Protein backbone atom coordinates (compact mmCIF):
# COMPACT_ATOMS: atom_id res chain seq x y z
CA UNK A 1 0.00 0.00 0.00
CA UNK A 2 2.74 2.49 0.92
CA UNK A 3 4.65 1.68 -2.27
CA UNK A 4 1.55 2.32 -4.38
CA UNK A 5 0.86 5.56 -2.53
CA UNK A 6 4.46 6.63 -3.11
CA UNK A 7 4.12 5.92 -6.83
CA UNK A 8 0.89 7.97 -7.00
CA UNK A 9 2.58 10.84 -5.16
CA UNK A 10 5.66 10.74 -7.39
CA UNK A 11 3.53 10.61 -10.53
CA UNK A 12 1.40 13.47 -9.25
CA UNK A 13 4.45 15.62 -8.57
CA UNK A 14 5.80 14.96 -12.05
CA UNK A 15 2.41 15.54 -13.70
CA UNK A 16 1.76 18.79 -11.84
CA UNK A 17 5.26 20.01 -12.69
CA UNK A 18 4.69 19.21 -16.36
CA UNK A 19 1.35 21.05 -16.24
CA UNK A 20 3.04 24.13 -14.79
CA UNK A 21 5.86 23.96 -17.34
CA UNK A 22 3.30 23.70 -20.15
CA UNK A 23 1.63 26.87 -18.88
CA UNK A 24 4.98 28.68 -18.68
CA UNK A 25 5.96 27.53 -22.18
CA UNK A 26 2.64 28.65 -23.65
CA UNK A 27 2.83 32.00 -21.87
CA UNK A 28 6.30 32.56 -23.30
CA UNK A 29 5.27 31.42 -26.78
CA UNK A 30 1.91 33.21 -27.01
CA UNK A 31 2.04 35.89 -24.37
CA UNK A 32 -0.85 36.45 -21.96
CA UNK A 33 -4.23 35.39 -23.31
CA UNK A 34 -7.68 35.80 -21.83
CA UNK A 35 -8.67 32.36 -23.11
CA UNK A 36 -7.22 29.48 -21.01
CA UNK A 37 -5.29 27.73 -23.79
CA UNK A 38 -2.77 26.08 -21.47
CA UNK A 39 -5.52 24.33 -19.50
CA UNK A 40 -7.19 23.10 -22.69
CA UNK A 41 -3.83 21.87 -23.97
CA UNK A 42 -3.01 19.80 -20.89
CA UNK A 43 -6.53 18.37 -20.73
CA UNK A 44 -6.48 17.30 -24.38
CA UNK A 45 -2.92 15.93 -24.29
CA UNK A 46 -3.57 14.21 -20.96
CA UNK A 47 -6.77 12.65 -22.27
CA UNK A 48 -4.96 11.39 -25.37
CA UNK A 49 -2.17 9.89 -23.27
CA UNK A 50 -4.74 8.28 -20.97
CA UNK A 51 -6.30 6.57 -23.97
CA UNK A 52 -2.93 5.35 -25.20
CA UNK A 53 -1.91 4.10 -21.77
CA UNK A 54 -5.16 2.22 -21.12
CA UNK A 55 -4.65 0.16 -24.26
CA UNK A 56 -0.89 -0.24 -23.84
CA UNK A 57 -1.32 -1.35 -20.23
CA UNK A 58 -3.97 -3.91 -21.14
CA UNK A 59 -2.13 -5.25 -24.19
CA UNK A 60 1.38 -5.24 -22.73
CA UNK A 61 0.60 -6.29 -19.15
CA UNK A 62 1.44 -2.91 -17.67
CA UNK A 63 -1.64 -2.43 -15.50
CA UNK A 64 0.59 -2.46 -12.42
CA UNK A 65 1.80 0.99 -13.57
CA UNK A 66 -1.73 2.44 -13.50
CA UNK A 67 -1.42 4.08 -10.07
CA UNK A 68 1.74 5.89 -11.14
CA UNK A 69 0.67 6.78 -14.69
CA UNK A 70 -3.10 7.21 -14.56
CA UNK A 71 -3.75 8.42 -11.03
CA UNK A 72 -0.46 10.17 -10.40
CA UNK A 73 1.16 11.43 -13.59
CA UNK A 74 -1.93 12.05 -15.73
CA UNK A 75 -4.09 12.98 -12.74
CA UNK A 76 -1.52 15.61 -11.79
CA UNK A 77 -1.14 16.77 -15.38
CA UNK A 78 -4.78 17.19 -16.34
CA UNK A 79 -6.72 19.93 -14.69
CA UNK A 80 -10.45 19.62 -14.52
CA UNK A 81 -10.51 21.50 -11.24
CA UNK A 82 -8.65 24.30 -12.99
CA UNK A 83 -11.05 23.89 -15.90
CA UNK A 84 -13.97 24.51 -13.55
CA UNK A 85 -12.30 27.58 -12.07
CA UNK A 86 -11.50 29.06 -15.49
CA UNK A 87 -15.11 28.45 -16.57
CA UNK A 88 -16.44 30.32 -13.53
CA UNK A 89 -13.93 33.13 -14.11
CA UNK A 90 -15.22 33.57 -17.66
CA UNK A 91 -18.83 33.52 -16.44
CA UNK A 92 -18.13 36.02 -13.66
CA UNK A 93 -16.49 38.35 -16.19
CA UNK A 94 -19.78 38.18 -18.07
CA UNK A 95 -18.26 36.41 -21.04
CA UNK A 96 -20.86 33.69 -21.50
CA UNK A 97 -19.88 33.08 -25.12
CA UNK A 98 -16.25 32.41 -24.19
CA UNK A 99 -17.39 30.24 -21.28
CA UNK A 100 -19.61 28.15 -23.54
CA UNK A 101 -16.87 27.84 -26.14
CA UNK A 102 -14.35 26.88 -23.46
CA UNK A 103 -16.63 24.15 -22.09
CA UNK A 104 -17.42 22.76 -25.55
CA UNK A 105 -13.81 22.82 -26.75
CA UNK A 106 -12.38 21.41 -23.52
CA UNK A 107 -14.83 18.55 -23.20
CA UNK A 108 -15.13 17.81 -26.92
CA UNK A 109 -11.41 17.80 -27.63
CA UNK A 110 -10.52 15.92 -24.43
CA UNK A 111 -13.04 13.14 -25.10
CA UNK A 112 -12.02 13.08 -28.76
CA UNK A 113 -8.33 12.90 -27.86
CA UNK A 114 -8.95 10.00 -25.50
CA UNK A 115 -10.89 8.16 -28.23
CA UNK A 116 -8.09 8.86 -30.71
CA UNK A 117 -5.52 7.59 -28.21
CA UNK A 118 -7.52 4.39 -27.77
CA UNK A 119 -7.86 3.87 -31.52
CA UNK A 120 -4.21 4.55 -32.28
CA UNK A 121 -2.95 2.43 -29.40
CA UNK A 122 -5.26 -0.45 -30.34
CA UNK A 123 -3.77 -0.30 -33.83
CA UNK A 124 -0.23 -0.31 -32.45
CA UNK A 125 -0.71 -2.99 -29.80
CA UNK A 126 -3.21 -5.27 -31.54
Residues 72-101 pLDDT 10s: 999 999 988 888 989 999 999 999 999 999
> Which residues are known binding-site members?
75, 78
Encode pLDDT of 1-22 as tens digits.
Answer: 889 999 999 999 999 999 999 9
Burial zone of 5 (CB within 10 Å; 0-12 exposed, 13-18 middle, 19+ buried): exposed
Which pLDDT belongs to residue 82? 82
Q: Which pTM was predicted?
A: 0.82
**Binding site, annotated residues for Na(+):** 75, 78
- Return the C-alpha torsion angle 35, 98, 83, 47, nearest 10: -90
Query: What is the C-alpha separation between 47 and 29, in angstroms, rounded?
Result: 23
**pLDDT score at 117:** 95
Say what the pLDDT of residue 80 is: 85
Q: Which residues make Cβ contacts (< 8 Å) with residue 109, sequence separation at least 6?
A: 40, 43, 44, 47
CB atoms within 10 A of CB 22: 19
Answer positive or negative: Cα dihedral of 120, 13, 70, 48. Answer: negative
Check residue 12 and give its pLDDT. Answer: 97
- Across the chain, what does the average pLDDT equal? 94
Predicted confidence at residue 81, as pLDDT, reads 80
**Hey, where are the domains in the chain?**
2-125
Amino acid sequence: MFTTLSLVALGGAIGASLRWLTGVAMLRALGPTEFPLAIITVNVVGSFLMGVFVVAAAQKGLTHLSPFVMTGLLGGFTTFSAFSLETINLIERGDMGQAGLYIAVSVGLSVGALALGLILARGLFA
